[in-house]
Every structure is written in structure tokens, then in C-alpha cells.
Amino acid sequence: MRIVFLGTAAAVSTSNRDNTSLLVDDFLIDCPGSAFGKMKKIGYDPLKLKGVIITHGHVDHIYGLPSLIEMLRLSARKEPLKIYVGEYFHELVKLQLEIHGLLHQENGFEINLKPVSYDKQLLIEDQRISIEVFPVKHSVPNIGLKIRSTESVVIYTSDTESCENLIDVFCKADLLIHESTCSYLYSRRVEGHICAEDAARLSQLSDVRTLCLVHVGPEIDGNEQRLLEELKKYFLGQIFIPNDFDRIIM
């Protein structure tokens, strides 16, 4: 399993970090700006994309989707593209694409827009990985993802508050990619999100192997090392904060 962090920032990007988005093998998870160009930059051919997963409809997770689809069309994509989106935002994403005339284009490609319920379920079963969804606690309905290969289990929380009821989902994961919009070192908790310290505590309770923090707020950018030292008080495993374009092979 290959994971590339196309972006690692929270809703407000910085000079170092763009909004959070992941490329996992041939699946794009959330789609802020310049996804096509970022994939080209890391040496990945965007025409190989098998699907896009939109976890929820907040602007920093969806605003780049029309641009990605148009760039794929202009690059002569012919294969259908599946776009999975939480059912609460299905109509919003459909309208977003219709406004730009992207759903039914001559010389285009088929777009299969698939609503996803918020129950635990298997969403994708590919040759190399499977992707399950589970509900998380955000300010709007949202889904997290459990990604499995034959070698490892990776959890991506998307945007969420602390959810101790998900300890069984996180339990013994090889890698927990958890949002960390804020930290008690610099501010208070933001509604619908989690502080990095609480993510570390939850990781310890869940006995995960490695904790990766993304969706980091502006006050964390540039202060990563101080935060990582603080988090050692709460989590005994490996912790890291990736930069944009970092990658992991699991």
C-alpha cells in the first residue's frame, strides 16, 4: 500500500501546507485544490485513478473536484470514474459538478457519483486494498476510512472530535492517520475537531502502532518538533507529522 500526503493542512492552508488530501494506491481521498498537478508532481499519472472518496462536504475537502474532472477530460480520460461521497452531501457534490457542466459532456467520460451511508460497511474491494467506512463525530455527518492490505491496516479519521467509542475500530492498527486541527499548547479545542494531545491519548488506548497527524492547524505549522515532544507524554508508539508530498509504503 502506498500513501502519499498531497496536503496536510486544516481548513486554513499555510505557506508550507495545503489542505489535507491523500492518495492511497489508485484512490484519491478528498479533493481540495490542484490535485491533478500534485499527482503529476509526485510522478503519478492521474489517468490511473480508480476512484475519489469525499468524506464530507466542507469546502476544503471538495473545492478542487470540478477542476480535477475537467483536467482528466482534457487529458483524454475515457474510463469511468467512481466518486464516493457521504449521502448527506451527495446532492451538494452533484450540484457542484452540474454547475460546471461536468456530469454530461461530449468527448468526456462517465462519472458514477455514489452516495455512501454512514453505517460501518465495506466500500471498495480492490486487487490490493479494501476500504471500509465508519461514522465519525464532526460538526456535520462525516466518514472515516479503514484501509486494509494483506500486510497492514491503516485508519484515516477525516475531521472528527475525540471518539472513544471508536477504540474497537482503531484497535491495533498499524497506522492511524488522525486529524489534529489544534493543540492545547497553542489554543483551545475547535468544535468538531480534536487536539493533538487527545489524538495521542486515544492512540495509546487503542494500542495502535504508529500515529500520523494531519489536518494540522496554522499554529502547529512550524512548531511540529515541540508538539511531538509533548505528545510523547501520552503515546508510547511512533508519532510523526508528515509534510506535503511525503509518502509511506505499508
**Would you say the C-alpha torsion 38, 78, 61, 132 has a positive or negative sign?**
negative
How confident is the model at residue 203, as a pLDDT? 95
pTM above 0.85, yes or no: yes
Q: CA-based Rg of the chain, rounded to a whole angstrom?
A: 17
pLDDT in tens, 1-20: 999 999 999 999 999 999 99
pLDDT in tens, 35-49: 999 999 999 999 999
Distance CA 169, CA 161 (A): 15
Task: Give the Cα-Cα-Cα angle 191, 142, 172 (nearest 5 degrees).
Answer: 95
Average pLDDT of the segment spanning 98-105: 90
Q: Is 178 or 103 the better-scoring residue by pLDDT?
A: 178
Distance CA 56, CA 58 (A): 6
Asked whether 32 and 63 are in contact (CB, 8 A), the reply is yes
Distance CA 134, CA 111 (A): 24
Q: In what order do the strands lie in the sheet containing 51-54?
A: 111-116, 81-86, 51-54, 27-29, 21-24, 2-7, 247-249
Q: Name which of 170, 161, 177 is nearest 204 in CA terms.
A: 170
How confident is the model at residue 106, as a pLDDT? 80
If 0-12 CB within 10 Å is exposed, 13-18 middle and 19+ buried, where does residue 47 land? Answer: middle
How confident is the model at residue 163, as a pLDDT? 80
Number of domains in the chain: 1
Q: Map residue 158 onto helix, strand or coil.
A: coil
How confident is the model at residue 98, as a pLDDT? 94
Distance CA 142, CA 54 (A): 9
pLDDT in tens, 143-176: 999 999 999 999 999 999 988 788 989 999 999 9
Distance CA 35, CA 22 (A): 10
- pLDDT at 228 exceeding the cut of 90: yes
Range of the domain at 48: 2-249
How confident is the prediction for the chain on average, in pLDDT?
Answer: 95
- pLDDT at 241 exceeding the cut of 90: yes
CATH number of the structural domain spanning residue 47: 3.60.15.10
pLDDT in tens, 179-207: 999 999 988 788 889 999 999 999 999 99
